[in-house]
Amino acid sequence: MRLLKDALARRAMGFVAALPGILVLLIVIGLFLKSKAILGVEPLSRLLFSSAWHPLKGQFGLLPFITGTVWVTVTALVLAVPVSILAAIYLSEYAPRWVRESAKPVVDLLAGLPSVVYGVWGVILVVPFVGGVLAPLAGVYSSGYSILAGGIVLAIMTFPTIIHVTLEVFASVPGSLRDASLSLGATKWETTRHVVLRKGAQGILAASVLGFSRAFGETMAVLMVVGNVPAVPRSLFDAGYPLPALIANNYGEMMSIPRYDAALMMAALVLMLIVLFFNVLARRILVRVEKRVR
Amino acid sequence: MNGVTKGHLEKRKRADVFFRVLATASAATVLLSLLLILGTILWKSVPALSLSMLTQTPKGGFYLGKEGGILNAILGSLYLAVGATVLAFLLSLPLALYLNLYKGRASKTAVWTRFFLDVLWGVPSIVYGAFGFVVMLALGLRASLLAGMLTVALLEFPIMCRAIDEVMRLVPLELKEASDSLGATRFETALKVMARQCAPGILTGVLLAFGRGIGDAASVLFTAGFTDRIPSSLADPAATLPLAIFFQLGTPFPEVQQRAYASAAVLTLIILLISLAGRAMSRKVTRHVVR
């Protein structure tokens, strides 16, 4: 009886173990099947590289949305990567123990805040700041609902991802290496730069790539502050219209216009494939880093 | 010591101080942005926060600034997140046990499964939403509490599973060997030794996933629908707090936008509470833990 239970449990668990892989595959296949309706009619190159977005005329060029996503994400990373890495350096190299311990809940909480809350905050604070302070400083007019506002909000959202992974990478650098460098008369910063950062370079790269893919797919917070104008943006103060926002904004009317739903599912597929690519890349690097340390 | 080396030393020292200040400032920026977000949301919510907001469903003209509250969304979100978390737990616990007890921790199966879980963790929630929508269409379902639960369960699954797995990886193998030597089957070891030993960590993982599930908007946008009523069955559409915030903020009326701030504060408080509970419990539920 006990053995039977054991055998049953093992079968069931073995099935569950296959689930993650199957799920990844199912998502890609499901979205692909739905987007076939449009892939059969329009050539892929026109879908991806045309900026004509007129669903009523049957034109579905995704270029404005893809560039919008890239602009927002790159802006966010330019802001987030240096701050996150420096913060991680402070926490791992300079901070006293109690600060390091109490920083963990802060980072966790930042990661746990819902994206809608970030969005509301962005609307209250960041959008007026960009429109009323930064844009006049740069000598341009902007409503504030812009790529830059999206980038700032998104940057704060990616802090926890990058800090968390970077801290783990720094922790894996042996302390004896630091001691050796310090004993040769190097200053704290020189040690950090030549030993910790060099040893952890690949891991930091992986952390940034992970941050990138997290930011790339973020929907609600960006949607609320970025303006949502379907044109290729020309400056940071222009409104943009990222892919996830496109999908989220139009789910209501997509069933009433022919091939609209297929176009949106294809947008989801593009998003999935790009994020998948960067995720796999980052994980590969991290696995290699982990192996080398051991 | 001649002047050249002295200048050189000064320069190195200055660089050291400069970067120490820069790193400290960066860490402070991260902390300040959290405080700024919490502060802004709570401060802005004060004028609109009232008891009727928490205890009433939207009345006619609610989105024009008339009477009512967001009880429908609060309850809808709770139902949805509880259901999704239970479903995700039913998948996550067996999988984590399987990886740690049945397969070796470093076996090929374990490494690949973890890899796919990490990949799933990175999949944006809007993609889960779109996928849930595709499945719904294929099965002929309408937007409902059940469809939302299933989608959010998929979203929570990798988060919970990886959290539990991380805790189980730290359990010393001697514990398993001791249990084996007493004649326990692997299943008994899994449930009575491993799961109990990891109870605090499992709880933290469950709460982490719950918080993620209750706060997610993009995945329920297509799948759970939205309604002013409290759902009475799994087939009813359900309102959710994040979407209620989003819709209220989207109206042109200041009173309604104020309510969006208040709703955001409610959601933030729920998240804060969950995270505090997770911290407190992971310290308390350690009665059965062998140290």
Model confidence over B187-232: pLDDT tens digits? Answer: 888 878 888 888 888 888 899 899 999 988 888 888 887 877 788 7
* Residues of chain B contacting A244 with CB distance shorter than 8 Å: 124, 126, 218
Average pLDDT, integer, range B58-66 = 67
Say if domain A64-293 classifies as CATH 1.50.10.10: no
Pick from B8, B95, B134 the residue to mutate for testing the A interface (most A CBs within 10 Å).
B134
Question: What's phi and psi for A54, nearest 5 deg?
Answer: -135, 80
End-to-end CA gap in chain B: 57
Average predicted confidence (pLDDT) for chain A: 86
Question: Cβ(B209)–Cβ(B202) under 8 Å?
Answer: no
* Residues of chain A contacting B34 with CB distance shorter than 8 Å: 106, 109-110
ipTM of the complex: 0.87
The dihedral sign for the CA sequence A234, A239, A243, A247: negative
The dihedral sign for the CA sequence A221, A224, A230, A236: negative
Domain ranges of chain A: 64-293
How many angstroms separate the CA atoms of B8 and B13, rounded? 9
> Closest residue of B to A34, CA-based?
B134
pLDDT of residue B35: 93
Q: Which residues contact A19 (CB under 8 A, 6 or more apart)?
A: B91, B95
What is the CB neighbour count within 10 angstroms for residue A201? 12
Q: Does B214 touch chain A (CB under 8 A)?
A: yes
Among residues A203, A196, A198, A209, which one has the least CA distance to residue A168? A203
Q: Cβ contact (<8 Å) for A107 and B22?
A: no
Q: Cβ contact (<8 Å) for B130 and A189?
A: no
Pick from A220, A266, A276, A287 the residue to mutate for testing the B interface (most B CBs within 10 Å).
A220
Residue B155's pLDDT band, with cuts at 50, 70 and 90, is: very high
Question: Cβ(A211)–Cβ(A294) under 8 Å?
Answer: no
The pair of structure tokens assigned to A277 is 């690519």
Calculate how close chain B gets to A63, using CA atoms only, in Å.
19
* Residues of chain A contacting B128 with CB distance shorter than 8 Å: 27
> Closest residue of A to B13, CA-based?
A187
How many angstroms separate the CA atoms of A66 and A48, rounded? 8
Q: Does B282 touch chain A (CB under 8 A)?
A: no
pLDDT digits (tens, 9 = 90+) for A205-250: 889 988 888 888 888 888 888 888 887 888 888 888 888 888 888 8
CA B273 to chain centre: 12
Query: Which of A121, A268, A279 is nearest residue B41 as measured by Cβ atoms?
Result: A121
Answer whether residue B1 shows pLDDT above 50: no
Question: Cβ(B238)–Cβ(B79) under 8 Å?
Answer: yes
What is the CB neighbour count within 10 angstroms for residue A141? 9
Calculate how close chain B gets to A102, using CA atoms only, in Å.
11
The dihedral sign for the CA sequence A97, A101, A102, A107: positive
Average predicted confidence (pLDDT) for chain B: 84
Question: Cβ(B156)–Cβ(B245) under 8 Å?
Answer: no
Question: Cβ(A225)–Cβ(A119) under 8 Å?
Answer: yes
pLDDT of residue B291: 55
Average pLDDT, integer, range B39-53 = 83
Answer whether residue B36 shows pLDDT above 90: yes
Beta bridge partners of A60: A53
pLDDT of residue A11: 80
Answer whether residue B58 shows pLDDT above 60: yes
Calculate how close chain B gets to A111, using CA atoms only, in Å.
9
How many angstroms separate the CA atoms of B204 and A9, rounded? 25
pLDDT of residue B81: 93
Write out residues in chain A with pLDDT < 70, as ranges.
Answer: 253-255, 292-294
Is residue A4 classed exposed, middle or buried when 0-12, 13-18 and 19+ CB atoms within 10 A define those classes?
A: exposed
pLDDT digits (tens, 9 = 90+) for B263-283: 899 999 999 999 888 887 766
pLDDT of residue B250: 82
The pair of structure tokens assigned to A96 is 């006293």
How many angstroms separate the CA atoms of A228 and A53, rounded? 13
What is the CB neighbour count within 10 angstroms for residue B177? 11
pLDDT digits (tens, 9 = 90+) for B94-133: 898 888 887 777 788 888 888 889 889 889 999 999 899 8
Q: Which amino acid, residue A121?
A: W
